[in-house]
């Protein structure tokens, strides 16, 4: 994606569901489109999740030369179905390949590297549906984790299967002699859900679907021989949207486009230890909740430590109509235990002004509940 904040697309309270009649606006320039302009071959193996209600919204219409995988989240790992509809595709046509989805995606990525890697510059995007629910994995991956209680045992097996798949992709790069000339990026997209029961976010507060560090601070790493010193640790705050301009700059692709960028070139921070390119990072802005980080300071409005945050976004939460304000200094309090809002009213005012300016750019959320008469198409992405 271009990295424009989801609140400008109406996606701030939920992802694109199977019944959604919308997707990433067609006016947006995707990373695949931009890299293709620079001469790259482009492929996606995994979850699309940016719209499928019309063919114009499908991956091969948004810059990808090749597509393999599924359009929706939360598909069955074995049957490849969601809500009764089949959702597995090759080049945006139904594919009936059988197998565990993590295995299939790795196999396709490896095939592409072996057959096409090195012919021209390539961008391979592999968004595994692992380790998202439903929690499913072949039995052999659970065996080493017999000491864990369910559902954490199955979750650990899913992580192991994905780790194996990542290893296969890296081995394919090595086999083709491409490792030294390839920038490899791995990143999660949110903190672990249901910490303590399914996942473990360590001492970070809360988890997925919240605005606290356990929900928004994620593991990420980048490797590129000769360009990133092994063992480098980056502690500066960066945002997922930064990958768009960073990769375009490295690839020599033009940044000029009709719509503005939110991301910043993060390469000097990652490779040379420079400060964060951000003055501020908006974490989200919904009708009822929001958060912003400015330097080490973080403002959280109606945070919610559980799935309550989803209800708040729809105006149904416990704090609807009663605002709660939290201010944290993440340098001194990375686990968000001490709310400094009452002691630092000036800092609250400063961050709130910056938050309000960005929140004013939001459009109403597009997320709608599933209609009682919704019936999934026999094959996703088709009428």
Domain ranges of the chain: 6-272, 281-359
Mean pLDDT in residue range 19-24: 94
- Measure the CA–CA gap between 186 and 42, rounded to whole angstroms: 17
Q: Residue 113 — pLDDT band, cuts 50, 70, 90?
A: very high
Comparison of pLDDT for 379 and 160, the residue scoring more: 160
> What number of helices (H) and strands (E) belong to the chain?
8, 13
CATH H-level superfamily of 6-272: Alkaline Phosphatase, subunit A (3.40.720.10)
CATH topology of domain 281-359: Arylsulfatase, C-terminal domain (3.30.1120)
Mean pLDDT in residue range 74-78: 97
156 pLDDT more than 90 = yes
Q: Residue 188 — pLDDT band, cuts 50, 70, 90?
A: very high
Give the alpha-carbon dihedral of 316, 317, 319, 321, to 10 degrees.
Answer: -10
pTM attached to this predicted model: 0.93
Q: Dihedrals φ, ψ of 128, to 5°?
A: -55, 145
Query: What's the pLDDT score for residue 4?
Result: 60
Q: Residue 322 — pLDDT band, cuts 50, 70, 90?
A: confident
Q: Which residues of 359-374 are buried (b: 16+ CB within 10 A; e: fewer)?
A: beebeebbbeeeeeee
Q: Residue 375 — pLDDT band, cuts 50, 70, 90?
A: confident
């Amino acid at each position: 994606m271009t990295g424009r904040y989801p609140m400008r697309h109406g996606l701030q309270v939920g992802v694109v569901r199977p019944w959604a009649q919308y997707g990433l606006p067609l006016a947006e320039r995707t990373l695949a489109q931009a890299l293709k302009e620079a001469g790259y071959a482009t492929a996606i193996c995994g979850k699309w999740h940016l719209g499928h209600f019309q063919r114009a919204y499908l991956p091969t219409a948004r810059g990808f030369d090749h597509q393999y995988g599924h359009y929706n989240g939360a598909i069955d790992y074995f049957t490849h179905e969601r809500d009764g509809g089949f959702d597995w595709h090759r080049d945006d046509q139904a594919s009936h390949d059988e197998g565990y989805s993590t295995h299939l995606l790795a196999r396709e990525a490896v095939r592409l590297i072996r057959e096409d890697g090195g012919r021209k510059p390539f961008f391979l995007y592999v968004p595994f549906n692992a380790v998202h629910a439903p929690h499913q994995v072949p039995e052999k991956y659970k065996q080493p984790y017999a000491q864990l209680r369910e559902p954490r045992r199955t979750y650990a097996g899913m992580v192991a299967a994905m780790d194996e798949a990542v290893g296969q992709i890296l081995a394919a790069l090595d086999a083709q002699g491409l490792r030294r000339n390839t920038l490899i990026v791995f990143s999660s997209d949110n903190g672990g859900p249901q910490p303590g029961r399914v996942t473990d976010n360590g001492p970070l507060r809360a988890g997925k679907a919240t605005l606290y560090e356990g929900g928004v601070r994620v593991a990420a790493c980048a490797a590129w021989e000769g360009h990133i010193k092994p063992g480098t640790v980056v502690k500066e705050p960066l945002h997922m949207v930064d990958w768009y301009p960073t990769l375009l700059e490295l690839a020599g692709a033009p940044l000029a486009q009709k719509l503005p960028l939110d991301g910043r070139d993060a390469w000097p921070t990652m490779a040379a230890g420079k400060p964060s390119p951000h003055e501020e990072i908006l974490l989200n802005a919904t009708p009822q909740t929001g958060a912003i980080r400015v330097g080490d300071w973080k403002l959280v409005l109606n945070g919610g430590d559980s799935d309550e945050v989803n209800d708040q976004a729809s105006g149904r939460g416990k704090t609807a109509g009663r605002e709660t304000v939290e201010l944290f200094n993440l340098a001194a309090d990375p686990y968000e235990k001490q709310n400094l809002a009452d002691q630092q009213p000036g800092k609250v005012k400063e961050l709130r002004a910056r938050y309000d300016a960005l929140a004013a750019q939001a459009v109403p959320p597009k997320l709608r509940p599933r209609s009682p008469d919704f019936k999934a198409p026999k094959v996703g992405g088709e009428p």
